[in-house]
Amino acid sequence: MFAVCADPKTIEGLTWAFCYLTSGKHLDFYGSFLTVILLLVITAPCALALGFGGATAARSQVLALRIIGKTYIAMVRGIPDIIFFLFFVIALDQGIEYLKSLAVCPAGSLWPWQGLEFRVCQEAKVPLGASSAFWHNAYGFALAVVTFAIVFGAFTANVMFGAMQAVPKAQLETAEAYGMSHAQVFRRILVPQMWVFALPGLSNLWMILIKATPLLFLLGVEDIVYYARELGGSKTQSYAYPHGDWRLIYFIGLLIFYLTMTKISEKVLGRLSANLSKGQATAAGEAMRRAGA
């Protein structure tokens, strides 16, 4: 990247370390941290939206919606995450390419599922074979977001469903007695109060989501764990920067990164919990009331 780094075998000391840490592979490694953060930033609200929809459907008065909501919660929560990640991404990818093949492949094309193989015409590939590496990475990342959102959306739905059930029914019945419609009770009474009950469970799910990001490698996304293992492994003289087994150093760096993320999350979630507990008829709200008395 820099002129002084043109021939790594002729440099040493701090210059060698500087060139090593600014090599192309390391720049990709630093970028993978942004990939993880971007995944969390996008997945969290998507999972929250899916969870809210699933919880609302699970307690709906319409039988069909209630069955859909409870089936979504039970089915996804009952499948081990690693199996879901391996199966669902392949099924989703093949489903997208199959639907595209119906529109772009010549009439009379063979059925794409041939035994254990899946084949479509080149025009139906997503992304196209001639597409740049950026689009291949972006497509893999999009599949990761969808998969993470569906998995954690089911757990979020279960937490929110329990939180909705925890809101005192007497308050809902009182609101209806005052003439509020079912939708108004849901929007003005139930939803504002259920957050204080849901936050502890949602906080735990956020921590689990942070710890689950290394599963990105299962989806073909080159994440921080992939680069730490790749860069830290022993490199012989055939490489530009030969070194011994430095994986421990790289994984200690990942340890610090994840601990920092969880510590920041704890502080933010603690403040959010305190704000939501103000004036609420909960143990935390009562403790705040007594402290202010």
293 pLDDT higher than 70: no
Q: Does residue 284 register a pLDDT over 80?
A: no
- pLDDT, greater one: 270 or 46: 46
Over residues 174-180, mean pLDDT: 87
Q: What confidence score (pLDDT) does residue 281 get? A: 53
Alpha carbon distance, N-terminus to C-terminus of the chain? 63
Mean pLDDT taken over the chain: 85
* C-alpha span between 276 and 291 (Å, rounded): 16
| Domains of the chain by residue range | 42-231+254-292
| Residue 172 pLDDT exceeds 70 | yes
**Phi–psi pair at 134, nearest 5 degrees:** -60, -45
The pLDDT value recorded for residue 77 is 80
List Cβ neighbours of 35 (8 Å cut-off, separation of 6 or more): 141, 216, 221, 223, 224
Burial status of residue 57 (CB atoms within 10 A of its CB: 0-12, 13-18, 19 or more): buried
**185-199, pLDDT tens digit by residue?**
888 889 888 888 899
User: Mutual orientation of helices 283-292 and 247-277 as an angle, nearest 10°?
Assistant: 70
Q: Are 89 and 143 contacting, i.e. CB atoms less than 8 angstroms apart? A: yes
Of residues 41 and 4, more confidently modeled: 41
| Percent of the chain topping pLDDT 90 | 30
pTM for this predicted structure:
0.82
CA atoms within 13 A on the CB side of 29: 19
Number of Cα atoms under 13 Å in the Cβ half of residue 94: 14
Please name the residue ranges forming H helices in the chain.
13-21, 24-58, 63-77, 81-104, 133-166, 169-177, 182-185, 191-212, 224-232, 247-277, 283-292
CATH number of 42-231+254-292: 1.10.3720.10
State the average pLDDT over residues 21-40: 90
| Maximum separation of any 2 CA atoms in the chain, in Å | 84
Query: Does residue 171 register a pLDDT over 60?
Result: yes
Reported as type and span, the H/E element at residue 117 is strand 117-118
